[in-house]
Structure 1
């Protein structure tokens, strides 16, 4: 029997749910024992080859095809772009978390779009100042789309960005990932949570990563939100390459192995002093560098 090709849309225990690339039909598939022996398991976004059992109700994963990329938090493979959803209020997202996530995405050489959600909550002068500051820091570096489920601001623009691609939504719990996805495609009907008044952060509503088909074309991975983010399997000396605004200055540092922290005649530090590199981003780089140096 000829094998068919599919994409993994959900992983659960010893089975996976796949969507056939030709028919778009979903099927539950068992994993062959060889994968357990080899300590190999598919993840959401993996392309696989599968066979259909005689009764037609289930399939068997025969082969896992090579990945073009993999993101580890959230765990997903073969994506075209990452959509980092963040907020300035309810919850107030720490920019260190934003920068840690961007470092991870840059390491995997993935396209990233920042979605600044819950814009309807930005009303006071202080909040507007925070918005201006955020845009000044990140807009020169990454595309930013400001959104709101209340006003439906830029929802059509976000659709056009997602159409025809495999994307993943990621961000802290409570930033409104599932709410945005429900606006983009109401048929998804994802569970939406609320902000914990006691903890001032979101409650988890998505409990597993799942690849969702969008009715206007493309796939999106709705992933469980995280309360914090720690960088794993990173070397302190590689972090400087993932702060993309550093790259054009690094060749002009006096020391070729300059860490941009304590060395004299550092072109990156000089750029920070001139205002050409954001002080917030540089300070967060130093925090990450020190954490990895412990």
Structure 2
């Protein structure tokens, strides 16, 4: 029996790196399912697994307990989920206010999912070398919202290399996840952070201002300054998973903090009188866009939340 870290997953085969640096191709035997998660991929990048040599293949027989993972809906219609990565020390959500647009709704859903599973997140605003006046205004408004809540924000340019050194400093000796829409520049950033990888990059579709998928599966790369970086496929939508509505406000730090002042202990912060959260939105203490995201996640139909 050997133990190792899953550094690449293609859905049917897994690349596992053992502590002594050896790399093994492994598969899973039969129907390998996690008891508590209905998922399309029972094993993900970042998992610690145990495997045996059987005949002509290495077979994974056990997944060690995860400290966390980040998960999303697998498709618009499926009730299954897809685990993007496991055992993450830090997540970096790559955001572009243009080329393509990243909406605040998408950002808030990702942040809520990360909060639910105890994963710290930094926001990385990329392509700032392309931003004009309106874009810069929107950038500053978004940074103001998220920094006030406690999320660290970086302004970077994959084209010019601006502030890449700050990202490296933040990532040192950690397992880092990079995520975001297709076209926001994840692969280009990773090529800058760890030269020599030469990950494939794609062009933005000018007609739709959106990116094409260049990463088709998650893969983990070792950083020469210490730690790992996980590249993930571009995400178009981010459906919440396994979040009970009565707990939803826990995953919005500023709403959770102010909710202590509500008149009712079971306040949903939607319809109740004397709700401290609604009052904080009116006074600007809570950003309206954040409250709108919370309202949307609370209001959506069970069937629709898989979109």
Cα shift readout 1:233-289 (whole Å, capped 9, x = no counterpart): 333222111110012211111111111111110111111222211122112211222
The separation in 2 between residues aligned to 1:153 and 1:116, in whole angstroms, is 11
Q: 1:139 is matched with which residue: 132, 147, 171?
A: 147
Aligned match of 1:259: 268
- Is 1:207–1:224's contact at 8 Å kept on the other side of the alignment? yes
Aligned match of 2:80: none
After superposition, residues 60-209 of structure 1 pair within 5 angstroms as 60-73=59-72, 75-124=84-133, 126-141=134-149, 142-209=151-218
Cα 1:242–1:41 change in 2 (3 A) is closer
TM-score (norm 2): 0.87
Aligned match of 1:59: 58
Cα 1:168–1:155 change in 2 (3 A) is same
The separation in 1 between residues aligned to 2:211 and 2:170, in whole angstroms, is 26
Residues 1:49 and 2:47 are matched in the alignment? no
RMSD: 2.3
Task: Select the structure with the greater relative contact order (CA < 8 A; seq sep ≥ 6).
Answer: 2
What SS does structure 2 have at the residue aligned with 1:268? helix
TM-score (norm 1): 0.90
The separation in 2 between residues aligned to 1:234 and 1:246, in whole angstroms, is 16
What SS does structure 2 have at the residue aligned with 1:157? helix
Q: CA deviation at 1:151?
A: 2.2
Cα 1:94–1:36 change in 2 (3 A) is closer
The separation in 1 between residues aligned to 2:233 and 2:127, in whole angstroms, is 19
Aligned match of 2:75: none
Q: CA deviation at 1:82?
A: 1.0
Give unpaired runs (5+ residues) of structure 2. 73-82
Q: CA deviation at 1:35?
A: 3.5
Q: CA deviation at 1:13?
A: 4.5
The separation in 1 between residues aligned to 2:44 and 2:116, in whole angstroms, is 19
Aligned match of 2:27: 30
What SS does structure 2 have at the residue aligned with 1:212? strand
The separation in 2 between residues aligned to 1:229 and 1:30, in whole angstroms, is 28
- Is 2:34–2:42's contact at 8 Å kept on the other side of the alignment? no
Q: CA deviation at 1:190?
A: 0.5
The separation in 2 between residues aligned to 1:279 and 1:15, in whole angstroms, is 45
- Is 1:149–1:179's contact at 8 Å kept on the other side of the alignment? yes
The separation in 2 between residues aligned to 1:230 and 1:34, in whole angstroms, is 25
Q: How many residue pairs were aligned?
A: 288
What SS does structure 1 have at the residue aligned with 2:242? coil
The separation in 2 between residues aligned to 1:62 and 1:291, in whole angstroms, is 38
Give unpaired runs (5+ residues) of structure 1. none
Q: 2:10 is matched with which residue: 9, 12, 22?
A: 12
Cα 1:249–1:41 change in 2 (3 A) is closer
Which deviates the most, 130-139 or 31-40? 31-40
- Is 1:16–1:28's contact at 8 Å kept on the other side of the alignment? yes
After superposition, residues 232-243 of structure 1 pair within 5 angstroms as 232-243=241-252
The separation in 2 between residues aligned to 1:138 and 1:119, in whole angstroms, is 17
Q: CA deviation at 1:66?
A: 1.3
Q: 1:217 is matched with which residue: 221, 226, 233?
A: 226
Q: CA deviation at 1:54?
A: 8.6
